[in-house]
């Protein structure tokens, strides 16, 4: 089984809703973020991905690190994601870009009604409950 190393963010708003994104040509919702490129730290990868996908530039000092989690990849069969998970609160607008097709602010207690990536379903939601 192949491994994908990513950095992703639990992004919440002032109403404690969390942002979920769905990439183009996929069905499952997940946290914004993506693959860590050679020479990048997980935080650097996260900041790059958030800028590319949502056109946001959060203050790194306001980002909380939760740790590393492992789960089956949502969109790549026979792959496991090794995810560095961060959290931040965002009060400004977002603008979806890059490979993101849809972004939704959801109440974490209702998010299970959506098709979710395994990482989101089994690790992220429990962190927010």
In tens, the pLDDT along 105-116 reads 999 999 999 999
- SS3 state of residue 101: strand
Contact 7, 33 (CB under 8 A): yes
Within 10 Å of residue 110's Cβ, how many Cβ atoms? Answer: 9
pTM of the model: 0.94
Three-state DSSP state, 54: helix
Residue spans of beta strands (DSSP E) within the chain: 2-12, 18-23, 32-35, 64-72, 79-89, 100-106
On the question of pLDDT at 1 being above 80, the answer is: no
């Amino acid at each position: 089984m192949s491994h994908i190393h990513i950095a992703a963010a639990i992004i919440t708003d002032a109403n404690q809703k969390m942002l979920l994104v769905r990439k183009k040509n996929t069905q499952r919702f997940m946290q914004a973020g993506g693959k860590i490129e050679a020479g990048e730290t997980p935080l650097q990868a996260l900041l790059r991905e958030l800028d590319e996908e949502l056109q946001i530039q959060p203050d790194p000092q306001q980002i909380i690190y939760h740790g590393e989690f492992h789960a089956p990849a949502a969109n790549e069969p026979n792959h496991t994601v090794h995810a560095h998970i961060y959290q931040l609160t965002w009060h400004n607008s977002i603008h979806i870009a890059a490979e993101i097709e849809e972004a939704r602010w959801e109440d974490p207690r209702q998010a299970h009604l959506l098709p979710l990536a395994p990482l989101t379903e089994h690790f992220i939601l429990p962190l927010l409950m």
